[in-house]
């Protein structure tokens, strides 16, 4: 799933390649992803990221693509064979196509009026790599939360922006259990979290930028915990585990990230999975 570090790499490429071109047609292969009444056409004026969504500002409308779990972009010549996961192809005025691929079809392609908010993103939280990321703001944010750490980290209205993978990486970096109550974090734990968030997101973005993967490839081989349950922790060697957090799964290290609030003290080193 594209998350912010992926989009921070992809969006400038799309902006450079596509700004000024016109979308002159579409080929829709998976209509389920489409949230558009009427044709998607017009000159591309600007392309930007809004939380986890790619926003194409057209002259008279806004095309917003939320890749969700598995969406990815491909910019190609028109003759290239369609992949089985092709959802929508946008035909461009220079003859190329911007293809949106999505093998689980959970992403959404919205056609909006200018000024109309992207559904679910009426409010977007503080940019963790921007000047608004301050201890004062973060501390106030933490005090206002009644939820568990991973849920908080994935709330786009509070923080711009993390999904499953980078929320797990941040918890590991800060050495905090993903189910910790945000309001119960000590000042020292809050400080670790404050530093871990921009470190993890910034370093991931820099790594992807340096390695320059193809547009439709998602680089994740440098992550420490996400997708590595059952493997040894890079920090201490303990077997990484999975735990459910409000409908999401979280991957974590039971030694580096002890569950200090657990009722009955679950020893995660002894729980399988």
Residues in contact with Zn ion by the rule CB under 5 A: 233, 235-236, 238, 253, 255-256
Nearest distance from C-beta of residue 255 to Zn ion, angstroms: 5
Nearer to Zn ion by C-beta: 53 or 253? 253
Looking only at Cα atoms, what is the longest distance across the chain?
A: 64
Nearest distance from C-beta of residue 172 to Zn ion, angstroms = 8
Nearest to 164 by CA among 177, 175, 176, 150: 150
The DSSP annotation for 84-124 comes to TTEEEEEEETTS-EEEEE-TT---EEEEE-TTPPPTT-SS-
- CB closer to Zn ion out of 96 and 199: 199
Between CA 107 and CA 113, with CA 108 as vertex, the angle to 5 degrees is 155
CA 113, CA 83: separation in Å to the nearest integer?
30
Shortest Å distance, C-beta 237 to Zn ion: 7
CB nearer to Zn ion: pick between 100 and 268: 268
Q: How far is the CB of 174 from Zn ion (least distance, A)?
A: 12
The nearer residue to Zn ion, 165 or 253, going by C-beta atoms, is 253
In the complex with Zn ion, the residue whose CB is nearer, 83 or 238, is: 238
> Strands 108-112 and 34-35, how do they pair?
parallel
Backbone φ, ψ for residue 32 (5° rounding): -60, -25
Least distance to Zn ion from the beta carbon of 226, Å?
14
Q: What DSSP character marks residue 184?
A: G
Distance of CA 9 to the CA centre of its chain: 12
Q: Report the residue number, 104 or 236, with the smaller CB distance to Zn ion.
A: 236
Instruction: Output the smallest distance, CB 229 to Zn ion, in A.
Output: 13
Apex 182 CA angle, 52 and 145, nearest 5: 75
């Amino acid at each position: 799933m594209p998350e912010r570090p992926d989009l921070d790499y992809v969006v400038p490429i799309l902006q450079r390649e596509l700004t000024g071109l016109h979308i002159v047609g579409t080929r829709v292969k998976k209509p389920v992803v489409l949230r558009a009444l009427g044709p998607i056409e017009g000159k591309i004026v600007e392309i930007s990221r809004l939380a986890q969504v790619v926003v194409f500002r057209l002259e008279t409308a806004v095309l917003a693509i939320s890749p969700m779990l598995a969406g990815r972009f491909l910019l190609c010549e028109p003759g290239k064979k369609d992949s089985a996961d092709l959802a929508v192809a946008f035909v461009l005025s220079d003859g190329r196509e911007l293809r949106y691929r999505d093998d689980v079809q959970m992403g959404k392609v919205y056609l909006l009026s200018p000024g109309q908010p992207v559904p679910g993103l009426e409010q977007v939280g503080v940019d963790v790599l921007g000047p608004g990321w301050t201890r004062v703001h973060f501390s106030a944010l933490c005090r206002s939360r009644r939820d568990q750490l991973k849920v908080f980290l994935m709330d786009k209205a509070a923080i711009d922006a993390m999904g499953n993978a980078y929320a797990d990486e941040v918890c590991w970096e800060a050495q905090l259990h993903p189910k910790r109550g945000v309001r119960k974090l000590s000042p020292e734990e809050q400080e670790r979290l404050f530093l871990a968030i921009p470190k993890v997101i910034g370093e991931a973005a820099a790594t992807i930028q340096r390695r320059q993967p193809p547009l439709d490839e998602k680089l994740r081989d440098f992550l420490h915990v996400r997708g590595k349950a059952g493997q040894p922790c890079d920090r201490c060697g303990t077997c990484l585990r999975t735990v459910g957090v409000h409908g999401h799964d979280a991957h974590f290290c039971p030694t580096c990230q002890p569950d200090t609030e657990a009722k009955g003290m679950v020893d995660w080193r002894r729980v399988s999975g």
